[in-house]
Structure 1
């Protein structure tokens, strides 16, 4: 259902693979996702979140699993906490994260992409947030990320209409970052200096942290910067 690999270039790939349910995730899978993200090796330079199922990124939460929440009140809290654990783990990664969206990305699947730094949309990508059609809400933390990503008005449109949008529209409003192949973007990011990637991710996550001033200054002592200056000067 959820697999993790790490290649020699430092690209860690978290793969959603539940074809029978269109990569819809039940409560236990959200816990597994959080545990998998926490287990990403320290040698990883970037995380790619992708699907092994053609034509689908994720249908979101598993409706068969959610149906039991009608009567099982404690299970409602368990589901909310499991989903939050997964998205917070993704958002809190110390390295960049990229969602490669090919095909449909609905509901809680969108929440996964909102927890990533970069969303790369394939030509057939489609995004929708359908809770208003289903008679339920959407986690507050994910709504906050959605507003940060696309603005309050576009967030309201997506939430209130529950209507799907295609890749071009997702790019236009900022729900997707760029068009293309997420794997290629991940390889490009992995080719950059890992120290710089981690510093830049930390700064982007919390720009107001005063500790970043000393981190920025210390980065000029990095071997990568010295090597870059030497190349610029034409030295061997």
Structure 2
């Protein structure tokens, strides 16, 4: 798949069965206005079924995402109707990312703040660079944080650490983020993505479905059916020395 540009701030390409979604707004540290959140959701919906994994990254050196664009949010002081438009755009973008049927990995380099943290939280795995910093500053601005994003944060780090991040509005470095479970690894996400992409696409989708919805009764049959996967048959044949 050729690279696609959505709104000038979001770019998507497929490389070796990996969908790479890049944030590209260097003049604002990847702070995204309402239209960019809408473009992000639209971009995610175009990921082809051939993709085995998604890498979410920044194309701007030294920064992941500064969150929502404050210049855009300023109009919400007086424009009451625009508040819902923004909330729904943000909710849709993060929700589509969280519900993708393939493994998703966020590579966080540099600053990751506000809605940028929400984006990272929507991924299955978060890999941070040593110089990454995380913060959720809405309390400092006198506003809240989306309900779904608070829930994802609490599931990741526990209620107490979520409360600490939300109530203090302070920032933490990558080492502290790793300690509390906000990130899963410090290093290069491309290594993780490469390991994932080498695996079977059908198995990856099944395993993600099991992780996300373990109470789905159809999954027991799906597990049994997976033994009919040609890749499994080929692996067994190699083990037996038949191939």
TM-score scaled to structure 2, two decimals? Answer: 0.95
SS for the counterpart of 2:134 is strand
Deviation (angstroms), 1:235: 3.0
Q: Indicate the residue corresponding to 1:232 in structure 2.
A: 239
SS for the counterpart of 2:139 is helix
SS for the counterpart of 1:119 is strand
Aligned residues: 235
Question: For 2:185 and 2:234, how far apart are their aligned partners in 1?
Answer: 31
RMSD (Å), alpha carbons? 0.8
Q: Deviations over 1:210-229 (max 9, x none)?
A: 01100001001111111222
Q: Indicate the residue corresponding to 2:182 in structure 1.
A: 175
Deviation (angstroms), 1:231: 2.5
Deviation (angstroms), 1:188: 1.3
Work out which of the residue numbers 16, 21, 27 in structure 1 matches 2:28.
Answer: 21
Q: Indicate the residue corresponding to 1:3 in structure 2.
A: 11
Q: Deviations over 1:44-89 (max 9, x none)?
A: 1001000000110000000000111000001110000000000110
Is residue 2:97 matched to residue 1:115? no
Q: Indicate the residue corresponding to 2:4 in structure 1.
A: none
Q: Deviations over 1:177-212 (max 9, x none)?
A: 111111221121111110100000111111111011
Q: Deviations over 1:125-177 (max 9, x none)?
A: 11000001111000001001111111100000000011111111111111101
SS for the counterpart of 1:15 is strand
Q: Indicate the residue corresponding to 1:192 in structure 2.
A: 199
Question: For 2:42 and 2:190, how far apart are their aligned partners in 1?
Answer: 23
Q: Indicate the residue corresponding to 1:59 in structure 2.
A: 66
Question: For 2:144 and 2:156, how far apart are their aligned partners in 1?
Answer: 19
Equivalences for residues 49-198 of structure 1 within 5 A: 49-198=56-205
TM-score scaled to structure 1, two decimals? Answer: 0.98
Is residue 2:224 matched to residue 1:203? no
Is residue 2:219 matched to residue 1:217? no
SS for the counterpart of 1:4 is strand
SS for the counterpart of 1:3 is strand
Question: For 1:42 and 1:195, how far apart are their aligned partners in 2?
Answer: 10
Deviation (angstroms), 1:121: 0.7
SS for the counterpart of 2:11 is strand
Report runs of 4+ in structure 1 exceeding 2 Å deviation: 230-235
Structure 2 unmatched runs, 5+:
1-8
